[in-house]
């Protein structure tokens, strides 16, 4: 058995008296596309922040390709090849689209904190930036200020920055939130293409997206994973139905139909 790309073991997180993550255990294989679903307030964002270094775990371990990363600073984790996007667009709004992507590229290409090179002359960076923009179909908007992009494009840019550094574990936090139906379709296609061969961990509310993208799904409820399995297994799971009441339960069934 290969080393899992991401391995979480008995992870806990408390904020004061509030015990948000209560013992999550999860292994994600290399190349797997894994979705985390769950009702609002289940702790999905907290889990994301724990993995990507935003929060310090209260207990438990997080291993990236067998190496412990729990409690590491985000930039260290990022350098080890794990990159994440944000639920709310978190871009450099004073910069152009091209510069945004370039920020994502620079470190991975070894330019780090360099102060002796003109970024305009770094042809490998230029080329990589262009490739990324090409792959997310933002090339024609490359020189627009990011703040002026339409919402869906900002979400796309968010993904572009996330994949720009070439990380092989990608975490996307509700990448299609707030998008129209056609925009969502395009986004899903884009995600599929851009994360080809990479490990993907995604949090998503849109069940269509989830069942379309994911190889496996975990259901997080009140800080605990109540089920993990292939999409078909999850659909049939009784506990999942209980956790999802009303509309959302229908959504699962509807998609199952």
Partner 1 sequence: MSNVATNSVNVLGPTGSEKFMRRIMPLIALAVVLAVIPVFGPSRTVYSLLNAMGVNIVFAMSYNMLLGRAGLLSFGHAVYFGLGGYAAVHAMGAIEAASYGDGGFWASYPVFFLPVVGFAGGALAGAVIGWPSCRRAGTPFAMISLGVAELIAAAGFMFGSIFGGEEGVSGDRMNGPELFGLSLGPIEEVYWFIAFWTFIGVLGTYAFTRTPLGKMSEATRDNPERVEFVGYDPQKVRYLVFIFSGGFAGLAGGMAAVNYEIFTPEALSLAPSGMVLLMAYIGGIRYFAGPILGAILLTYMQSMMSDYSEAWLLYLGLLFIVIVMFAPGGLAGIFVGLFSGLRGEDAGENFRRWAVQVAGIVLMMIGIITLVEVSVHWSNNYGEVFHPFGVQLPHDGVLTWAVIFIPFVAGVGILRMAHKNKEGQA
Which stretches of the chain bind partner 1, using CB under 8 A? 52-53, 73-75, 78-79, 83-84, 86, 90-95, 98-99, 102-104, 106-108, 111-120, 122-123, 126-127, 129-131, 133-134, 139, 142-143, 161-162, 164-165
Task: Choose between 20 and 164: whose C-beta lies nearer to partner 1.
Answer: 164
**Smallest gap from residue 112 Cβ to partner 1 (A):** 7
**Smallest gap from residue 191 Cβ to partner 1 (A):** 18
Task: Choose between 199 and 237: whose C-beta lies nearer to partner 1.
Answer: 199
**Smallest gap from residue 43 Cβ to partner 1 (A):** 20
Strands 82-84 and 169-173: parallel
Task: Choose between 142 and 249: whose C-beta lies nearer to partner 1.
Answer: 142
Beta bridge partners of 63: 7, 68
Task: Choose between 127 and 230: whose C-beta lies nearer to partner 1.
Answer: 127
**Smallest gap from residue 227 Cβ to partner 1 (A):** 29
Task: Choose between 13 and 102: whose C-beta lies nearer to partner 1.
Answer: 102
Task: Choose between 115 and 238: whose C-beta lies nearer to partner 1.
Answer: 115
**Smallest gap from residue 59 Cβ to partner 1 (A):** 23
- State the Cα torsion 244-246-247-250 to the nearest 10°: 70
**Rounded CA separation 172/84 (Å):** 6
**Smallest gap from residue 145 Cβ to partner 1 (A):** 12
Task: Choose between 180 and 193: whose C-beta lies nearer to partner 1.
Answer: 193
**Smallest gap from residue 106 Cβ to partner 1 (A):** 5
User: What is the DSSP secondary-structure string of the chain?
Assistant: -PPPSEEEEEEEEEETTEEEEEEEEEEE-TT-EEEEE--TTSSHHHHHHHHHTSS--SEEEEEETTEE-TT--HHHHHHTTEEE--SS----TTSBHHHHHHHHHHGGGT-TT--SS-GGG-HHHHHHHHHHHHHTT-GGGTTSBGGGS-HHHHHHHHHHHHHHT--SEEEEESTTTT--HHHHHHHHHHHHHHTTTSEEEEE-S-HHHHHHH-SEEEEEETTEEEEEE-HHHHHH-HHHHHHS-HHHHHHHHHHH-
Centre a 10 Å sphere on the Cβ of residue 40 and count the other Cβ atoms it contains.
Answer: 7
């Amino acid at each position: 058995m290969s080393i899992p790309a991401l391995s979480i073991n008995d992870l806990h997180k408390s904020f004061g008296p509030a015990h948000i993550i209560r013992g999550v255990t999860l292994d994600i294989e290399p190349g797997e596309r894994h979705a985390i679903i769950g009702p609002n307030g289940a702790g999905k964002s907290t889990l994301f922040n724990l993995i990507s270094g935003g929060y310090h775990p209260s207990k438990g371990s997080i291993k990236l390709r067998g190496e412990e990363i729990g409690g590491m600073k985000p930039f260290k984790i990022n350098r080890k090849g794990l990159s994440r996007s944000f639920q709310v667009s978190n871009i450099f709004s004073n910069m152009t689209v091209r510069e945004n992507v370039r920020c994502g590229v620079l470190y991975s290409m070894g330019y780090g904190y360099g102060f002796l090179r003109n970024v305009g002359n770094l042809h490998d960076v230029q080329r990589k930036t262009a490739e990324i923009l090409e792959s997310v179909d933002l090339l024609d908007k490359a020189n627009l200020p990011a703040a002026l992009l339409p919402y869906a494009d900002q979400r796309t840019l968010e993904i572009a920055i996330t994949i720009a550094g070439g990380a092989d574990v990608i975490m996307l936090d509700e990448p299609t939130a707030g998008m129209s139906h056609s925009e969502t379709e395009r986004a899903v296609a884009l995600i599929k293409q851009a994360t080809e061969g990479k490990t993907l961990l995604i949090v998503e509310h849109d069940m269509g997206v989830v069942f379309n993208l994911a190889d496996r799904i975990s259901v997080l409820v009140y800080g605990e994973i109540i089920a993990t399995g292939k999409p078909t297994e999850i659909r049939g799971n009784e506990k999942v139905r209980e956790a999802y009441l009303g509309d959302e339960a229908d959504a699962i069934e509807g998609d199952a139909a």
